[in-house]
Structure formats: structure tokens, C-alpha cells
Amino acid sequence: MKVYLDHAATTPLLPDVLSYYSDVLKDYPGNASSLHYEGERSRELYNWAKQTIADSINADFKEIVFTSGGTEADNIALFGYLKSIREKKPDRKKVVTSAIEHEAIIETVKELDQMGYDVFFAPVDEKGIVDVDSLKEQIDEQTAICSIMYANNEVGTLQPLKEISQLCKEAGCILHTDAVQAMGKVEIDVNELGVDMLSASAHKFYGPKGVGFLYVKEGTPLEPIFYGGGHEKGLRSGTENVPGVAAMAKALETVSEKINEKQEQYEQWTKRIMDACQKLSGVQFNGDPERRTPGSLSLSFSGVNGEALMGMLSMEDIAISTASACSSHSHRKGGSHVLSAMRCPKEYINGTIRVVTGYDNDDEQIDYFCNKLVEKVTLLRRLSNG
């Protein structure tokens, strides 16, 4: 049996989305910017996708910019906004973010720091909730933009964006949120959240890889950060990815209808996994049990190496990860920056796995995973005790 429990890294295309995607690839060969009948057909579908996505987050058609994914949306939001106010608001040189952002934001703000911006990383508490008091102190008339993720990619914690939005409004600064891990898992209404910009990525909600979007509230100034044919109101030049955006819209439409149903199902599975962990000692659950994306579990086992556990489970055809997919493959040495910021003890950080359930799982798979998890943790502990 194959059990995929790494839905925060990416999600498989839903069967309906896959067949729709391949139909569009076949049936819409036209460039959406061409003026002939093929171009017009593609443009119509492109516009339908934009309207569908706008509707699903309570935004306007004009407020959606299609991108190649979450990383690009984050970069356009931060660099594009700062570029647009550079001359008009020279005193606003501060960029406020949190200590637990994804690399798409962390590396972007590090670059901004190099460029002379004053970057502040707000701390988080033990559950991974950003310290609003420190934001209160830092968000002021010198702040240009505050970027706080909606849901964290390692522990699933949801941030109090409404409260943060109020602070930003009072200080006259822009609030951007990286909602890549929240989109399709919790309901999102951009007006209710009070955000000015929001990034999302289709492959996290059962759409294709390499496509995403940026919501930009009307009136938010933004300048392009790269140049070309002027597509997407000049903000994202490059031939429109019609099959990609159409499949993304189809996926978002489908998952948006199922949020509540899936939430209940995921909570049951999460409980089952946590109950299985009761058979073991030295287990820690990371994150906020109340305010998190349904189906996300970050579990730490003392005296266990998370990578060894991941490898053993992989040999049993179970796919989980140690932290985020990006950090597992390379550059971030020294363990999870998210768990460190949450003051998780080092021995637990080393023994952490991330388990995220999704549409393709069932009860049998969860039971299989629970049994294998208990078996492998017990085995690894026995081996390390000689």
C-alpha cells in the first residue's frame, strides 16, 4: 500500500482537474493575447479562471495577478510594492515579517536587508503564533510593508491576520500574507482578513505545479520587477498559461466546496494518529491544536532521528517529511528555523516529522501509517540504545 502524507509539500492533481487540464492543453492552443478566434477562446477561458479565483476569495477580477507560483507572488508583492513607493515615501524603509516564514519570504527580505531596508523578524510563541505586542512596537510610520504568513508550512499554525491588519491600517502600511498553505484548507475572504496582498500556489490545493496568483487590493501601488510583453497589467510579463490557470481555478472551485467536509475527516485522522502516539513516551505535538490548518501534524520524538524515521517509513511506501520540503533538500542546515523560533528543545527538533493528510487518503492508510510509525519509532529507539 502506498500512503502519501506530505500534502504540505505538494498535492496530487484531483482526477477531475487532471482530465480538465489535459482537455484544455489539447483544445485551447491559442495565445490568449492573440486577436484571432483561437486567441479569443483562450482569453475567455483565462478570464473565467480569473473571475472564479476572485470569487472564491471575495475579491474583484481586477485584483488577481496570475504568477508562476507562491515564490513569484511573494517576490512581486514585496519588491513590487517597495519599488513603487521608493520615491514617494522615502521615509518608509522598514519591512516587518515573522521568524517562521517560508524561504520565499525569508530570502526575499534578506535581499531587502542587503539593499538597505530595515528588516524586523517578529518572534513567535511556543505554539507558533506571532507576538502581536512586538508587532505593535515595530509597525509604525516608518514601516512600508508587513508580511506575515497565514498558515505555517511546518506546523500549520494560523496567524491572527485581522488583528495584524488593524495595526497596519493604523500605521498606514501595507499587509501582505503568504497564504500558500492556507488556500483551499480554510475559508479565505480577503476583505474579512483585511489584507492588501495575498499569495497562493495551485499545487498546494490539488492544481498544477508552476502556477499561482497574487491578490492585490485595488489601489495598492505595485511596479513590475521584470519586464517583457506587459501581460497581467505589466506586473507579470510572459505568455499566459491558459491550461495552468484554468486547472488552478477548477481545483480551487472544487476544494472550496469541500472545506468543511474535509476538515471533519482530517480532524478524525489527526486524532487517530495522536492516539497511536500515546503508545509511545517522549512525544511532543508542535503547533496550536486550535488554530491550525486541518490535517497538519508536526510530531517530535525524543531520542529519534527524524530523517532516519522518514527513511524507514519511506521504505514501507509511506511519504512524510521531516520539516518543509525545501529545507529537507539542501541549504538550511541546523534544523528547522520554525521549531527553533518556537523554542522547541533541540533533541525534539532533531526527531520531528511533518504529517499532512489529504484527499487521496483513507482510513486504512491512516491505520497502516499509525502501526508503522509506532513500530519504527520503537525500533529506532531500541537501536540507538544499543
The piece of 55-63, 69-77, 298-306, 368-376 that touches ligand PLP (CB under 6 A) is 69-77
Q: Are 246 and 49 in contact (CB under 8 A)?
A: yes
Asked if 295 interacts with ligand PLP (CB under 6 A), we say: no
Site for ligand PLP (CB under 6 A): which residue of 76, 77, 95, 149?
Answer: 149
Catalytic-residue membership of 146: no
> Smaller CB distance to ligand PLP: residue 259 or 325?
325
DSSP 119: E
Question: Closest by alpha carbon to 269, among 158, 379, 367?
Answer: 367
Q: How far is the CB of 178 from ligand PLP (least distance, A)?
A: 5
Q: How far is the CB of 102 from ligand PLP (least distance, A)?
A: 4
Asked if 207 interacts with ligand PLP (CB under 6 A), we say: no
Which triple of cell numbers denotes residue 70?
507562491
Q: How far is the CB of 1 from ligand PLP (least distance, A)?
A: 26
Q: CA–CA separation, 352 vs 362, rounded Å?
A: 24
> Smaller CB distance to ligand PLP: residue 111 or 140?
111
Place of cell 492543453: 25
Site for ligand PLP (CB under 6 A): which residue of 108, 147, 177, 201?
Answer: 201
Asked if 154 interacts with ligand PLP (CB under 6 A), we say: no
Q: CA–CA separation, 81 vs 222, rounded Å?
A: 5
> Smaller CB distance to ligand PLP: residue 190 or 377?
190
Which triple of cell numbers denotes residue 88?
514617494
Residue 40's region, left for phi above 0, alpha for psi from -120 to 50, else beta, is: alpha
The piece of 40-48, 68-76, 85-93, 368-376 that touches ligand PLP (CB under 6 A) is 68-76
Q: How far is CA 96 from CA 108, 222, 316, 332, in A?
A: 12, 18, 43, 22
Q: CA–CA separation, 313 vs 369, rounded Å?
A: 8
DSSP 12: P
Place of cell 491512516: 366
Sign of CA dihedral 141, 146, 150, 155: negative
The piece of 53-61, 64-72, 91-99, 122-130 that touches ligand PLP (CB under 6 A) is 64-72
Q: Strand 283-286 relative to strand 296-301: parallel, antiparallel, unpaired?
A: antiparallel
Site for ligand PLP (CB under 6 A): which residue of 180, 188, 242, 355?
Answer: 180
> Smaller CB distance to ligand PLP: residue 201 or 265?
201
**Residues making contact with ligand PLP (CB under 6 A):** 69-71, 102, 104, 149, 153, 178, 180-181, 201, 212
Catalytic residue numbers, as ranges: 326
